[in-house]
Chains A and B, each alone.
Chain A
C-alpha cells in the first residue's frame, strides 16, 4: 500500500517554450484507483513517465509514502507501467513475458513457473503460456500485459489508456478485471485516458487536465453535478450554459427566473445543468417549468436529443424516446429543470 503524492510537477521539453505539463499536484491515497483525464497531448503520458522514472521532470517532486523517488532508477522504483499498445516482447512466449519481471528479480525458475501459472489463471488465460504474443487477440494481449505488471506486485501501477483499444463488449469485462485485481491486491493505481466515459467507469477519483493544467480532482459524479468551470462541464458533455445573475436562491436569466439549490454560488455567472436532468412535462405546476419551442429532435435509439428554444436562448435535453414520441418539430412544450440539478459557474 503506497500513498502517492505529486507535487508541482512540471515538464518542459528541450527546445519548447511552453511546458507540456504545468505545475500538477495530485494526491493518490493508498490503494486508490485514480484517473488522469484530458485530451490528447495534454501531458498525461508525460506525467506517467515521470512517475515511472522514464522521464526526468523539469521541476516538482514525486513521493511514495512521503519519500521522494526522483533519484531512484526506473527498475528500483516499484512502479510498473502498462503501455497502451501492450508492448509484449515478441521474441518471448506469453509465460516468458509474464515471468520477465520475476526473472529480472532473480526469482528461481520453479517459483516463476508457479507464479506465472497462477497469474495467467487470475487474468483468465490459463494454459496459454506457451503461445507467442502474436497469436493472441487484442483483449488477450492486454490481459497478458496486465498479468506481467501485477506479478511483480508493484507499489504503484500505471495504465496508459487501458480500455481504449478494446471493443465495447470487452471494455466492461476488462474494467471489472482491472477493478477486482486492483482492489484485491490493493495496488495504488493511476491510469490516463482521453475518454471521460473510461475515466468515470473505472476510477475512484478523476483528475481533469486541460491545457496542461489540472482543472478539478474529484470523484466522477462531481464532474457532472458540480463542474468547476465551463470547459470542465463541456468536457463531460455539458451543453447548457445560460448567463445571468444569482441572488437570493434564484437565478435571473434572459427569459425568466429559476430556483437554485441552497449551496449555489452568488453573483453574476453562468448557469449550467445536465441535458439528461430535464423533464418534458404536460403540467405547469412543477418548480422551474419553462415553456419552450422544439427546434430539433434526434432519435438515438435508447435516447432522444432535443434542442429547445426559449426566448433567445437554446436548451439541450436528452430524454427517454417514449416520452416525446408524439412531439413534432415547431411544437410548444413545457419542460421542468429540477432545482437540485442547477449549478452556477463564475464567468
Chain B
C-alpha cells in the first residue's frame, strides 16, 4: 500500500510538473517561432521560410530596442529600490505595531491593487502636471510605486509579523548601535522578504503599460510600449523577437531567486496577514 501511495504521489507530481511547463511555456512557443520566421501562413504548421531578419532588426541601433531594454531595466530597478526603501519600514509598522487607524492605512495601501490603474493615474497625472514630472523618467519611476508598493509592504508586514523584536534588544544590550543592530541582526532575518518583495516589485514595474504610457507621455518608451507598437502594426516576427527579449530578465531573476520563494521563508504567508 505504502509503495503504491508513494508511486501515486510521485506520478501526480510529475504530471503536474508537465502540466505547468506546458501551460507556461507553450504559449511562448509561437512567439519564439515567429521571431525566426520569414512568412508563416495558414495552414502551415511551421514557417515556410526561416530568417534572422527580425532579430537583426531588433538588435540593431535603429530599432531602439536595446536602449529601451536598458531604460526599462533602469526604471524597474529604481522602482524596486524605492519600494524596498519605503516597504521595509512600512511593513515593520504594519506587521509589528498596533496603532489607531491601522485598518484604514492597510486599506489605503491595498487600494491600488483593487482600484483600476487608469483611475489612479488620471489623478496623479494632473498632480504631476503641476510639479513638472509628466513625460520624465523620474515621473514614471514614481508612478510605478503605486502598483509595486502594495506587494512589497504586504510581503514585509508578513515577515515582520513573524520577527522577534527581542533579538534587536539583545543586540543593543550586547553593544550594537541602532544601525549595526539593523545591519547584523534585522537585515539577515528579513532578507528573504526583501528578495521576494523586491522580485514582485521588479516584475510588476517591468510589465507596466498604462501608467508608463500616460505619465511618460510617449517620451519614456519602455519595452512594453515598444512591444505594443510592433504588435499593433502587425509585425509578428519583430514582436516575437522583442517579446523574447522582454521575457528574459524575468526568467533570469526567477531562476536566481527561486530558492527564496520556497514556503520555508514564510514570506508568501504575508498575504494571509492583512
Residues of A within 8 A of B (CB): 49, 52-54, 73-75, 79-81, 83, 85, 87, 89-91, 100-101, 104-105, 148-149, 152, 158
Q: Which residue of A lies closest to B181 (CB)?
A: A75
Q: 4 nearest interchain CB pairs?
A: A101-B174, A104-B175, A74-B172, A91-B188
Known A-B contacts A81-B170, A83-B166; A75 and B189 likewise in contact (beta carbons under 8 Å):
no
- A54–chain B nearest beta-carbon distance, Å: 5
> Cβ of B167 and Cβ of A149 under 8 Å apart?
no
> Cβ of A52 and Cβ of B173 under 8 Å apart?
yes
- A330–chain B nearest beta-carbon distance, Å: 55
Q: Which residue of B lies closest to A48 (CB)?
A: B173
Known A-B contacts A87-B167, A91-B189; A74 and B180 likewise in contact (beta carbons under 8 Å):
no
> Cβ of B173 and Cβ of A79 under 8 Å apart?
yes
> Cβ of B169 and Cβ of A148 under 8 Å apart?
no
A152 to B188 alpha-carbon distance, docked (Å): 23
> Cβ of B173 and Cβ of A104 under 8 Å apart?
no
Q: Which residue of A lies closest to B180 (CB)?
A: A104
Q: Counting CB contacts under 8 A, is B177 at the interface?
A: yes
Residues of A within 8 A of B188 (CB): 89, 91
Known A-B contacts A89-B185, A91-B188; A104 and B176 likewise in contact (beta carbons under 8 Å):
yes
Q: Which residue of A lies closest to B170 (CB)?
A: A87
A105 to B174 alpha-carbon distance, docked (Å): 9
- Other A-B contacts than A73-B172, A85-B166, A90-B189, 4 sampled, CB-CB below 8 A, are A74-B173, A89-B184, A91-B188, A105-B175
* A/B interface sample: 27 pairs, CB < 8 A: A49-B169, A52-B173, A53-B172, A53-B173, A54-B173, A74-B173, A75-B177, A80-B173, A80-B174, A81-B173, A83-B169, A85-B166, A87-B164, A87-B166, A89-B184, A89-B185, A91-B188, A101-B174, A101-B175, A104-B171, A104-B174, A104-B177, A105-B175, A148-B174, A149-B174, A152-B174, A152-B175
Q: Which residue of B lies closest to A100 (CB)?
A: B174
> Cβ of A54 and Cβ of B176 under 8 Å apart?
no
Residues of B within 8 A of A85 (CB): 166
Residues of A within 8 A of B180 (CB): 104
- A70–chain B nearest beta-carbon distance, Å: 15
> Cβ of A75 and Cβ of B172 under 8 Å apart?
yes
Residues of B within 8 A of A74 (CB): 169, 172-173
A75 to B166 alpha-carbon distance, docked (Å): 14
> Cβ of A89 and Cβ of B169 under 8 Å apart?
no
A158 to B172 alpha-carbon distance, docked (Å): 14
A74 to B171 alpha-carbon distance, docked (Å): 10
- Range of interface residues on B (Cβ < 8 Å): 10 to 19
Known A-B contacts A89-B185, A91-B189, A104-B180; A83 and B170 likewise in contact (beta carbons under 8 Å):
yes
1/0 contact trace for B149-193 toward A, CB 8 Å? 000000000000000101101111111110010001100110000
Residues of A within 8 A of B175 (CB): 75, 101, 104-105, 152
A81 to B188 alpha-carbon distance, docked (Å): 22
Residues of A within 8 A of B184 (CB): 89, 100
- B9–chain A nearest beta-carbon distance, Å: 29
> Cβ of B171 and Cβ of A100 under 8 Å apart?
yes
- B271–chain A nearest beta-carbon distance, Å: 24
Q: Which residue of B lies closest to A76 (CB)?
A: B175
A260 to B124 alpha-carbon distance, docked (Å): 87
A74 to B181 alpha-carbon distance, docked (Å): 12
Residues of B within 8 A of A100 (CB): 171, 174, 176, 184
Residues of B within 8 A of A54 (CB): 169, 172-173
A73 to B189 alpha-carbon distance, docked (Å): 24
Residues of A within 8 A of B167 (CB): 87, 89
Residues of B within 8 A of A87 (CB): 164, 166-167, 170
Within 8 A of A (CB), among B14-36: none
1/0 contact trace for B188-203 toward A, CB 8 Å? 1100000000000000
Most chain B Cβ neighbours within 10 Å, of A49, A73, A83, A149: A83
Residues of B within 8 A of A83 (CB): 166, 169-170
- A64–chain B nearest beta-carbon distance, Å: 15
Residues of B within 8 A of A104 (CB): 171, 174-177, 180
1/0 contact trace for B34-58 toward A, CB 8 Å? 0000000000000000000000000
Q: Which residue of B lies closest to A52 (CB)?
A: B173
Q: Which residue of A lies closest to B167 (CB)?
A: A87
A91 to B185 alpha-carbon distance, docked (Å): 8
A49 to B165 alpha-carbon distance, docked (Å): 13
- A58–chain B nearest beta-carbon distance, Å: 19
A45 to B174 alpha-carbon distance, docked (Å): 17
Residues of A within 8 A of B189 (CB): 90-91
Residues of B within 8 A of A81 (CB): 169-170, 173
Most chain B Cβ neighbours within 10 Å, of A49, A52, A100: A100
Most chain B Cβ neighbours within 10 Å, of A49, A52, A73, A104: A104
Q: Which residue of A lies closest to B189 (CB)?
A: A91
Q: Which residue of B lies closest to A106 (CB)?
A: B175
A87 to B166 alpha-carbon distance, docked (Å): 8
Residues of B within 8 A of A53 (CB): 172-173
Q: Which residue of A lies closest to B187 (CB)?
A: A91
A100 to B181 alpha-carbon distance, docked (Å): 11
Residues of B within 8 A of A52 (CB): 169, 173
